[in-house]
């Protein structure tokens, strides 16, 4: 130990080391927040400051005034806080507001899974939805009613939004999902054609059951552009049929958008129009119609 002390003493006698130490000491003790801290604690004498100098220096190296210098952070996203513990200078780390907001955003993003849809739907909101005519006002009002019901844990029907191409059906579904995300309600928003293609791929692997279960169990499922998928008896009965039957039985809301009215979607599901397929199409449509409020969206094509 004595040799170490001697070595340190010799190092401190070197001009460049002594100057570097004095520079650190001056920068630390002149740091405005260190000055404010010491002024707020007059009980800290010179000895306490000397003993706690490394803590003061650790603080000063990471902080530009009251703002954390991210590149200097000892713990990413956490800023140092000086305090007095049993008469000694101490330091702890607290999460920054910026880091907490980013972490919260990631947590919310995990609540909103958007599959097979363009990234811009993540920015959709009720505020920017065009409600310039009565039909669109009704659609917006019912969408807000649905979100409000989910937030207050009421049992609410889903929505079936139908209308021509480009009138904002996908946008409104995404706005609903974003509102639910903020309320910590997990959702999955899928584009029906991509969803069906992925399901067909999964059926050839061992992961199909877990894939199917995730859509059965999610608190809110939103299916965009239903009716645009390539339909087959398997898609209708073993994919949509199984998912929607489970969700109906467990009163889990499902929302849809489609270019088809309910009657037109039933025709789509009947495939070849045979009596057997007509009956199965009617059965599937009953699961949709009895669990949703149907709303027609009108307007010009906004995607042109």
| Strands 187-191, 254-258: pairing kind | unpaired
Which residues contact residue 49 at a Cβ distance below 8 angstroms, ignoring those fewer than 6 apart?
A: 38, 56, 89
Mark 56-91 as b/e (b = at least 16 C-beta within 10 Å): bbbbbbbbeeeebeeeebeeeebbbebeeeeeebeb
Asked if 23 contacts 12 with a C-beta cutoff of 8 angstroms, the reply is no
Asked if 91 contacts 62 with a C-beta cutoff of 8 angstroms, the reply is no
Most distant CA pair in the chain, distance: 99
Q: Tens of pLDDT along the chain (304 residues)?
A: 455 555 555 555 566 767 777 888 888 999 999 999 999 999 999 999 999 999 999 999 999 998 999 999 999 999 999 999 999 999 999 988 888 877 766 665 555 566 656 776 778 999 989 888 888 899 999 999 999 999 999 999 999 999 988 788 999 999 999 999 888 898 999 999 999 998 998 888 878 888 899 999 999 999 999 999 999 999 999 999 999 999 999 999 999 999 999 999 999 999 999 999 999 999 999 999 999 999 998 776 665 5
* pTM tops 0.75: no
How are strands ordered across the β-sheet holding 220-224?
Answer: 112-115, 187-191, 220-224, 254-258, 158-163, 292-297
Q: Where in the chain is the domain with CATH 3.40.50.300?
A: 106-297
**CATH superfamily, with its number, for domain 106-297:** P-loop containing nucleotide triphosphate hydrolases (3.40.50.300)
Distance from C-alpha of 256 to C-alpha of 155, rounded to nearest angstrom = 17
Percent of the chain with pLDDT strictly greater than 90: 64
**Spatial CA neighbour of 82 closest among 133, 120, 28:** 28
Distance from C-alpha of 216 to C-alpha of 241, rounded to nearest angstrom = 11
pLDDT in tens, 161-212: 999 887 889 999 999 999 998 888 989 999 999 999 989 988 888 788 888 9
Beta bridge partners of 297: 163
């Amino acid at each position: 130990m004595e040799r170490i002390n001697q070595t340190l003493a010799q190092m401190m006698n070197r001009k460049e080391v002594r100057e570097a130490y004095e520079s650190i000491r001056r920068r630390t003790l002149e740091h405005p927040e260190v000055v404010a801290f010491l002024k707020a604690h007059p009980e800290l004498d010179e000895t306490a400051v000397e003993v706690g100098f490394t803590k003061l220096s650790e603080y000063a190296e990471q902080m530009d005034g009251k703002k954390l210098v991210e590149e200097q952070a000892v713990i990413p996203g956490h800023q140092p806080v000086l305090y007095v513990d049993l008469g000694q200078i101490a330091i702890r780390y607290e999460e920054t507001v910026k880091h907490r907001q980013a972490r919260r955003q990631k947590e919310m993003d995990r609540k909103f899974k958007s599959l097979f849809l363009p990234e811009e739907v993540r920015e959709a909101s009720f505020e920017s939805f065009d409600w310039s005519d009565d039909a669109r006002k009704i659609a917006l009002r019912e969408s807000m009613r649905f979100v409000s019901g989910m937030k207050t844990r009421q049992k609410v029907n889903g929505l079936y939004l139908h209308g021509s191409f480009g009138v904002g059906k996908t946008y409104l579904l995404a706005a609903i999902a974003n509102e639910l995300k903020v309320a910590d309600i997990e959702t999955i928003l899928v584009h029906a054609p991509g969803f069906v293609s992925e399901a067909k791929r999964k059926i050839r692997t061992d992961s199909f059951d877990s894939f199917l279960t995730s859509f059965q169990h999610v608190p809110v499922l939103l299916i965009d552009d239903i009716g645009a998928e390539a339909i087959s008896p398997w898609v209708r009965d073993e994919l949509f049929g199984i998912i929607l039957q489970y969700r109906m039985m467990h009163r889990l809301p499902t929302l849809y958008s489609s270019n088809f009215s309910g009657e037109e979607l039933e025709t789509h599901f009947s495939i070849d129009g045979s009596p057997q397929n007509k009956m199965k199409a009617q059965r599937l449509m009953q699961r949709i119609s009895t669990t949703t409020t149907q709303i027609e969206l009108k307007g010009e094509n906004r995607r042109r």
